[in-house]
Structure 1
Amino acid sequence: MARFALRLTADDPVSATEAASSFYWLSDRARSSFYSSVDPYLSDFGPVPPRNVDLVRIALTALAADRSVHRAGRGSNWNQRHFELEIPVSDPGPWARAAAALQHVLALLSGDTWELSFVPQPDRAPFTTAPLASAPARVVLLSGGADSALGAVHSRRHLAEGEHHLLLSHFSNTMLPPIQKHIAAEAMRLVPGGAQEHRIVRLSRRTRRIDGTPYPSEPTTRSRSLLFIALGLAVASLHHVPLWIPENGFASLNPPLGPERLGSLSTRTTHPAFLQDLSAAATAAGAHAVLENPFARHTKGEMFQQAAGFLGAEKASAFLSATHSCGLTGQRAHSIPAQRQCGVCFGCVLRRASFTAANLRDRTDYIAPSSDAAVQDWLRRSSVEQPVRNLLRRGIRNRDLIALDLPHTYPLREARDLCVRGLKDLRSLYP
């Protein structure tokens, strides 16, 4: 069992053991446990409602804990870990009542078990903020991936006269902001019209505790999407507008590649049950939590085809090739720039297949194949190509659909149809 606490002040006396298991999110950012472009009250955003500030703290503590405990093996539960978290919030009562639901949401996302407890936040000095700008039609998460890039374009195409939208990006890896800025600028250039604001937020755990000792570093961090969503909801809560989380529906359903590809081995960032349960839990605690996935019923290949239809093949090819879909880490260990994409992780495989299915030229500079034996061995160990081929051979079975853990409002026949179309995209790469 791993116990962690989030602390908003370093003044309270704690034991050495408690200090080692504490994350300090301090207004003095140089002394904080986090690289952060925002303070623990999110005053940089404006007057964010307290419950949405709380939700960001919950998500940040979960991600920091996730990063700080190694997974010991493989398998369907990947040696499931157990976490106990203590988080300071504006009012512990509503969150205590929502704790069971939030614990379920975190378990769905990471494959671990979680116990949450809440304490009152320390007093803070009053602050003033500039008057709010006019409300955007929506807030759109812009990660730097192809789906989020298409979400930005899709949102711009659906802005009514006089409307604008806000793009929100989050990063921990410093190679991402240039990609995010380029995509935002290109979306505005390719779809002229309404105004656009783009905010980039840095919020991630440092490699060392505030006493200088190193944290463990678990690379999988499946809970990171919860922090991105919580930050997006914090911005959306300023005007009570929807938060768009653009992700192709096939990846959202997360069909298992095989019996070993369950739990935290695959992401459930936009799984329908995750989004539905997160929205319900946060709303029950009093937070703003209106979540929408505009591509929930589309495959990535279909999204690429639509982009080719309204942008033209050449513009769509250039725009999408400039995005970053790779989920693999470790490039720098082989003296490869972090922004180069591997070509063999699931994100890259689905990306390559979608270019092929849409008959678009993929200009991405993938690492695979490599003439370097060490690099090729790393790629081989990281590759999902054979599991994808196995999935294509066997197809989608009834037990695969049951394993999706869909909410009762999502008909299985629609899930099957979407998965079959997703496999068709993949089959264009592996005929």
Structure 2
Amino acid sequence: MPRFTLRLSATDDIPADEATSSFYWLPDQRSTFTRGFSPSLATLGSVPPLNVDVVRVALTAFAADRTVPRKGYGANWNRRQLELEVPVSDAAVWNGVADELAGVLGFLSGDRWSLSFIQQLELVETLTPDEISVTPQRVVLLSGGADSAIGGLYSRSLLATDQQHVLLSHYNNTMLAPIQRHIATELQRLIPGPSQEHVVVHLGRRSERIDGTSYPSESTTRSRSLLFLALGLAVASLHQVPLWIPENGFASINPPLGPERLGSLSTRTTHPKFLQDLAAVLTKVGAHAVIENPFAHVTKGEMYRRVVDLVGAEEASSFLSATHSCALTGQRAHGISSDRPCGVCFGCVLRRASFAASEVPDLSDYIAPSSDPAVQKWLDSKSVEQPVRNFIHRGVRARDLTTLSLPDDYRLRDVLDLCQRGIQELRSLYQ
């Protein structure tokens, strides 16, 4: 079982076995992680220690997720076993929920996790963060995708002119940063008045270990959403306000496109059970964990229509088309800019269907179809369009939803209605 330890200090002479099994969060160039963001989170402000701990756990999991390659592809992924040791402010409290938190992480990534915690002395930081002058109403996660952009727009529409919200963006792939900044600027233009802070965090695992050797690389980083949430909660904890994670309910529930996709290919980044269980564990240890999805019961197309109601069809088209929902990352290997969406992954298919269902013009510059045979072959190998067609034809029955681990407070008939509306939107793409 691969075992990794997060270390917040390092000697000059590090044994090879320690370098291989450790991640180092350091203030200098030897750090495993992107520089400029400290392990005390002092750049964000006086984050409560328990929420600092949450970020450390999430970042260690994210690094381990990227470092241990999966075996097999598609629906034949293996279930990895990963063990983490994390320094925290109160090891006794965290060890008391280690198994529960490991279960939450396992539900998210599809792996088996084992967590243990060690006591860490308080770090002394001299950084002075930028102070937020007005207590925000909420913190909104802004990933660069359409749903998060709509969340930011909807949040601004609820603010009085003397109120504000905070947008929290995280990126590891530098392609996302300008998209996130553009969306933040557009939100202020489209709904002027309320003030707004945009906190951008560049944080990820570097390609080389502390001894200069290269890390293995796994691209299916399911745990990134935990890191994103942890960073958002850290900012929300400064003001004890809710954290919004805007995502359409159909994608959150994510009914599998086929029986073979029940496990490995059924993503759970905003699944209601994951969010509820995570909040329950974090609340148990005393960390701030108020997480809300304002769109948990609506489809993506219905979210698009809400944008039309707020700013009009022409502005909605321009605003939504500038977001990025593509899940593929192999564009550069074919000489294509990494910010161009493929058009055939599930994120792109659902996006296209939402434009069609809402009758909002889609100005996105999709790669598919391509006149280049090599590019088209790559697109065909990644396309989910035929599975989506099969899914539309098959539909969803109430008994299918019993396999999705939905929370007890999600009424089956409401979830079934949501899925049927989502399928109808997908159908609009192929009429």
What CA distance in whole angstroms lies between the structure 2 residues aligned with 1:120 and 1:14?
A: 21
What CA distance in whole angstroms lies between the structure 2 residues aligned with 1:399 and 1:36?
A: 49
What CA distance in whole angstroms lies between the structure 2 residues aligned with 1:126 and 1:171?
A: 24
2:112 corresponds in structure 1 to 113
* Secondary structure of the structure 2 residue equivalent to 1:6: strand
1:336 corresponds in structure 2 to 336
Matches within 5 A, 1:5-44: 5-11=5-11, 15-28=15-28, 30-44=29-43
What CA distance in whole angstroms lies between the structure 1 residues aligned with 2:388 and 2:13?
A: 53
What CA distance in whole angstroms lies between the structure 2 residues aligned with 1:163 and 1:126?
A: 31
What CA distance in whole angstroms lies between the structure 1 residues aligned with 2:139 and 2:12?
A: 37
* Secondary structure of the structure 1 residue equivalent to 2:156: helix
**Preserved CA contact (<8 Å) 2:107 2:268:** yes
**Preserved CA contact (<8 Å) 1:164 1:195:** yes
2:52 corresponds in structure 1 to 53
Matches within 5 A, 1:5-404: 5-11=5-11, 15-28=15-28, 30-74=29-73, 78-125=77-124, 127=126, 129=128, 133-404=133-404
1:88 partner letter: P
- In the TM superposition, residue 116 of structure 1 has moved relative to its aligned partner by 0.2
Aligned length: 430
- In the TM superposition, residue 74 of structure 1 has moved relative to its aligned partner by 3.8
* TM-score relative to the length of structure 2: 0.97
Distance 1:360 1:173, change over 3 A: same
- In the TM superposition, residue 263 of structure 1 has moved relative to its aligned partner by 2.9
Identity of aligned residues (%): 64
Distance 1:11 1:71, change over 3 A: same
Distance 1:67 1:151, change over 3 A: same
- In the TM superposition, residue 398 of structure 1 has moved relative to its aligned partner by 3.1
**Preserved CA contact (<8 Å) 1:77 1:111:** no
* Secondary structure of the structure 2 residue equivalent to 1:169: strand
Distance 1:356 1:124, change over 3 A: same
Structure 1 window deviating more from structure 2 (73-82 vs 240-249): it is 73-82
Distance 1:36 1:300, change over 3 A: farther
- In the TM superposition, residue 26 of structure 1 has moved relative to its aligned partner by 0.6
**Preserved CA contact (<8 Å) 2:143 2:180:** yes
What CA distance in whole angstroms lies between the structure 1 residues aligned with 2:209 and 2:308?
A: 48
What CA distance in whole angstroms lies between the structure 2 residues aligned with 1:174 and 1:132?
A: 25
- In the TM superposition, residue 98 of structure 1 has moved relative to its aligned partner by 1.3
Structure 1 window deviating more from structure 2 (350-359 vs 99-108): it is 99-108
* Secondary structure of the structure 2 residue equivalent to 1:196: strand
- In the TM superposition, residue 341 of structure 1 has moved relative to its aligned partner by 0.3
**Preserved CA contact (<8 Å) 1:110 1:263:** no
* TM-score relative to the length of structure 1: 0.97
Structure 1 window deviating more from structure 2 (320-329 vs 100-109): it is 100-109
- In the TM superposition, residue 106 of structure 1 has moved relative to its aligned partner by 0.6
**Preserved CA contact (<8 Å) 2:257 2:387:** yes
* Secondary structure of the structure 1 residue equivalent to 2:199: strand
**Preserved CA contact (<8 Å) 1:222 1:264:** no
Distance 1:11 1:155, change over 3 A: same
**Preserved CA contact (<8 Å) 1:26 1:32:** yes
- In the TM superposition, residue 18 of structure 1 has moved relative to its aligned partner by 2.1
Q: Deviations over 1:106-163 (max 9, x none)?
A: 1111000000000112452364746663211000000000000000000000013411
Gaps of 5+ in 1: none
* Secondary structure of the structure 1 residue equivalent to 2:204: strand
Distance 1:411 1:77, change over 3 A: farther
